[in-house]
Amino acid sequence: MPAVGGPRPRVLFVGHDASRTGAPVVGLAFVRWLATQGTADVGVALLGPGPLEPHYRRAAPTTVAAPRPWAVDALARAVPGVRARRPRPAGADPQVVVANTLAALAPAAALDAPRLVCWVHELDGVAERVLPARRRHQLLPRVHRWVAAGPRVAEMLVSRWGLSPARVVTVPEFTDRRPEPVPGAPDRGVRVLGAGAGAPRKGIDAFVACLSDLATRGEVPPAAWVGGSPEALAVREAGADLRRVGIDDRVQLVAEVDDLGPWWPRHGLLLHPAREDPYPLVVVEAGQRAVPVVTWDTGGAADLLRAAGLAHLVAEPGDLVGLVRRVEDLLADEAARADAGRALQRATEVLVADQQAPFVWAACTEAGP
């Protein structure tokens, strides 16, 4: 497949939305990095709106599909019920199209650009939901290069989808830059934090179950789950469970926030009981703040902890007792928390845009199989 030539290739970045979730946040970091390099003319097309939309617009010319139809004929044909409109948005007629998530792949492929790159942030369960096998098989030959958000995604693409390893580049999720301490920043006093969409896949029910188990043996540490709509069924069920156990005064359920900063535990840990999560950005962010993490062996969080020498903080999938024991041990041992936080911080130092985005860009431009 040909490499992209020319001094300033035209790149269109297609995202499924602008929500404050992992893939759009990492995608924004990449777009910002690319825009600052001056080596490409970059435009952004988002399939849906969200709170990150103004940030994308500041980084590059951006078109948002909802609530108005796409302005690109080919994209319009790929989205049911959407009529084509003109003029075409920034980034039209690109040399490279980057589909950020499988959910954006079909519209991105419809542009029929010379080079199509798919950045996969999903594992099997979500992948099957957003891109069923029949549709996937139609689209696989259209993609020139695949960027896997972590080794578990790469394993899915190669072992279960049958892609050649030469077509897959593994790039772990990353942030814009390392966070810097803010003197006098507010502190919610949380010791156990959970974060993510209020859904079973993210493990909000397991988070509540762990805190409920701790309540049977002593005082529950101040805890909070941040993320998810209060109207979501899983969030309402979690609230009911907390009230039933009588710990709703110690464990907060907080809707999505603009800034997670005040909620990061200064003397505690992140509990990440997701059932499927390819390379959770919240775990990367915890590590960059030297916040230790306890998780299940169900995704990239476990891989990152092992790379940091923290395999003892990884429980077997579904092992609630194992999660509780690890949380309890860390909360009781300040030195162990500090050691784990420092080890995770060292492991996540490289997970920033200036060190990881070049690998994504190389997948966009270099010749290969």
* Distance in angstroms (rounded) separating the CA atoms of residues 241 and 272: 19
pLDDT at position 1 is 42
Cα–Cα distances in angstroms (integers) from residue 4 to residues 116, 144, 146, 365, 367, in the given order: 11, 12, 16, 5, 8
Among the ranges given (30-39, 86-95, 339-348), the one the predictor scored with the smallest mean pLDDT: 86-95
Query: pLDDT tens digits, residue range 6-17?
Result: 578 899 999 999
Beta carbons within 8 Å of 133's beta carbon, 6+ residues apart:
none
Q: Which residues share a beta bridge with 43?
A: 12
Element (H, E) at 206: helix 204-215
CATH code of the domain covering residue 286: 3.40.50.2000
- Mean pLDDT along residues 9-32: 95
Other CB atoms within 10 Å distance of the CB of residue 192: 25
Q: Which residues share a beta bridge with 272?
A: 295
Query: pLDDT tens digits, residue range 118-153?
Result: 999 999 999 999 999 999 999 999 999 999 999 999
Give the chain's mean pLDDT: 90
200 with 267, same domain?
yes
38 with 173, same domain?
yes
145 with 207, same domain?
no
133 with 204, same domain?
no
In-domain check, residue 186: no
In-domain check, residue 3: no
Q: Are 106 and 139 in contact (CB under 8 A)?
A: yes
In-domain check, residue 127: yes
Query: pLDDT tens digits, residue range 164-197?
Result: 999 999 999 999 999 887 777 788 999 999 999 9
pLDDT at position 366 is 82
Instruction: Quickly state the pLDDT bin for 79 (edges 50, 70, 90).
Output: very low
315 with 360, same domain?
no
User: Percentage of the chain with pLDDT > 70?
Assistant: 90
* Distance in angstroms (rounded) separating the CA atoms of residues 43 and 223: 41
167 with 258, same domain?
no
In-domain check, residue 210: yes
In-domain check, residue 115: yes
Which residue in 238, 232, 249 sits closest to 210, CA to CA?
238
- Mean pLDDT along residues 309-314: 98
21 with 169, same domain?
yes
In-domain check, residue 183: no
149 with 206, same domain?
no
pLDDT at position 38 is 87
Q: State which residues form the domain around 236.
A: 192-348
Q: Are 273 and 206 in contact (CB under 8 A)?
A: yes
Cα–Cα distances in angstroms (integers) from residue 84 to residues 81, 112, 355, in the given order: 10, 16, 39
Instruction: Quickly state the pLDDT bin for 276 (edges 50, 70, 90).
Output: very high
pLDDT at position 5 is 56
Among the ranges given (66-75, 242-251, 337-346), the one the predictor scored with the smallest mean pLDDT: 66-75
* Distance in angstroms (rounded) separating the CA atoms of residues 257 and 287: 20
In-domain check, residue 2: no
pLDDT at position 182 is 75
- Mean pLDDT along residues 75-93: 43
Total count of domains within the chain:
2
196 with 220, same domain?
yes
197 with 170, same domain?
no
171 with 250, same domain?
no
Report the predicted TM-score, pTM, of the whole model to 2 decimal places: 0.90
In-domain check, residue 61: yes
* Distance in angstroms (rounded) separating the CA atoms of residues 217 and 296: 22
- Mean pLDDT along residues 272-301: 97
> In the predicted model, is pLDDT for residue 110 greater than 80?
yes
> In the predicted model, is pLDDT for residue 355 greater than 50?
yes
- Mean pLDDT along residues 195-205: 93
321 with 275, same domain?
yes
> In the predicted model, is pLDDT for residue 68 greater than 90?
no
Backbone angles phi and psi of 9, in degrees to 5: -65, 150
